[in-house]
Amino acid sequence: MQRGFKLDVSVNYDNNTIQEIEVETFIVNNNRGDILSITDNVYTPAQGDRFYFLPGVSIPRVKLKDLSSQYGIKSTRNLEDATHIFASKHTVNKVSESVWTYKIPTASIEKLYKCIKEDPDVDDYYCEKLETALLVNECDHVYLDYGSAGIFRNCEGEIFEEIRNEEGNDTLLKSSNYIYTINPEFVSEILEINTLSLPILNESELLIHINGEDATVIDEEIFGQLTNMFESSDTDNTVLAMEIMANCNYVDSLLYLELLFKEYAYNMERSRTRNHVNFKGLLAFLNKSKNDMSTSIDQIVHSLKGYGVLTIDKINYILDKYSDEIHRHGSTSIFKVKSITLDKEYLEDLNFNFNYKVETDFFPVELEEEVMDNIPNEDISKDDSSNEDTTDALEVNEDTVEEIDDINTPVESLEINPNENDGDKFEWF
């Protein structure tokens, strides 16, 4: 980040003389992501921690009570007292703004300053403002708005002709780009943070601990209850369901939370509860927006992987629910269609089990014994030591066809075994 300024020039086109000069100083950065560097460091509560929250963080202060009573943790508004700094994905947008500008070398503006300083028709007030801006400027360029860039391109005054005839200036004055500036009310705060050795943590690291050890874990039973509440015509049920989601154990409930967002994002987006600080905390944890909560099966898996709770059982659960979706739309960035067959009508006509392999088999790396002990036997693929083709152990349902090893097997031998659905429904009360 550097100190820079934008120049606004007014001229009298009758005699091509400068009338006014306005200067706006700011902290500028060409890359918005460099304004704040939010790390992926893990946070573990410790006795006496002091939190400093940056703008955009959605941590309900009331939920800090459990951490405060257990560890003596407090929040502070003084950066010098902070042991941890927390930000969110919204923080950078809160503290900065994008500005569409043209630019010209600082050396060219220094020539302009020398010219107007010797011009008796230019008020000393404007000369002093430009001089001060040049003294604090740390950039190689001075920024111009559209009108001022037009003056440098078109004004016939001697100094303007001299500047635009300098090498490269004509091209610069015809091209514009975004720069990112820190909003004035946050300048001192951001500059101080960048002088500290404290890493900036993502608020999601704190949200993991925020609901306490006694928070509800959403399991399959509670998931069924919440599903019924979202499908109810009573909007109060939607509000209650969202409150339960916001106050649960996020990590242990992650699969079912994501499934609820996939199925009922529309209901939540229409509910006033989306603006509640508790629910905004959940959205921050899952990196979702209150205006767009839609979730794909890829996003569900990515979320599970990101928080280290992805298992084979969870993958099977997702596929049990959404295999039809993959059948309709084909491969995703995560789920890949491994083989292609034909509709039953055409298989019968050919009397042939056609099976075209798209993806090659994956052969798992042999794991060490102590690691193998932590994995269920039924989820471990057998090592292929004889170079024979292997197939994954997949559950067959009414929408999937078991992979055929022998493509010459007559179609009449093909059996499709649908999974039974117990159809259990859960009631909230």
Name which of 419, 425, 218 is nearest 319 in CA terms: 419
Tens digit of each residue's pLDDT (9 = 90 or more) over 111-142: 888 888 888 777 888 888 888 889 988 888 89
Question: Which carries the bigger pLDDT value, residue 396 or residue 270?
Answer: 270
Res 277 pLDDT > 50: yes
Structure token pair of residue 6: 């934008």
Which amino acid, residue 107? A
Q: What is the pLDDT of residues 289-318, one digit of tens each?
A: 888 899 999 999 999 998 889 999 999 999
For strands 50-53 and 74-75, give the pairing. parallel
DSSP characters over 335-377: ----EE---HHHHHHHTS---EE-SPPP-PPPPPHHHHTTS-G
pLDDT given for residue 374 in this prediction: 52
3-state secondary structure of 428: coil
């928080």: which residue's tokens? 307
Residues 205-214, mean pLDDT to the nearest whole number: 78
Asked if 233 contacts 270 with a C-beta cutoff of 8 angstroms, the reply is: no
Q: What is the pLDDT of residue 12?
A: 80
The rounded distance, in Å, linking the Cα atoms of 375 and 340 is 31
Helix axes 106-117, 124-136, angle to 10 degrees: 150
- 96-105 and 177-182 strand pairing: antiparallel
Find all residues with CB under 8 Å of 181, minimum gap 6, and list them: 26, 27, 28, 29, 96, 97, 99
pLDDT of 350 reads 85
Mean pLDDT of 266-282: 88
Count CA within 13 A, CB hemisphere, residue 305. 8
Single pTM value for the model: 0.62
Give yes or no for residue 266 having a pLDDT over 70. Answer: yes
Measured CA to CA in angstroms, residue 122 lies from 10, 16, 134, 159, 223 at distances of 11, 12, 18, 14, 73
Nearest one of 142, 97, 112 to 2, comparing CA atoms:
142
**141 φ, ψ (degrees, to nearest 5):** -130, 155
The predicted pLDDT at position 67 comes to: 80
- Find out whether 183 and 141 touch, Cβ atoms under 8 Å: no
3-state secondary structure 198-257: CCEEEHHHHHHHHCCCCCCCCCHHHHHHHHHHHHCCCHHHHHHHHHHHHCCCCCCCHHHH
Cα Rg, the chain, nearest whole Å? 31
Angle, vertex CA 102, rays to CA 96 and CA 105, nearest 5: 105
Query: In angstroms, rounded to a whole number, what is the distance separating the alpha carbons of residues 22 and 19?
Result: 10
In angstroms, the CA 243 to CA 274 distance is 10
Tokens 């890949």 locate to 336
pLDDT for the residue 63: 74
* Alpha carbons 395 and 406: distance in angstroms, whole number: 19
Average pLDDT for 376-396: 42
Determine the average pLDDT of the residues in 154-177: 85
Q: 84 in helix, strand or coil? A: strand
The residues, any chain, with a CB within 8 Å of residue 162's CB and separated by 6 or more, are 111
At 70 the pLDDT is: 80
pLDDT at 331 over 60: yes
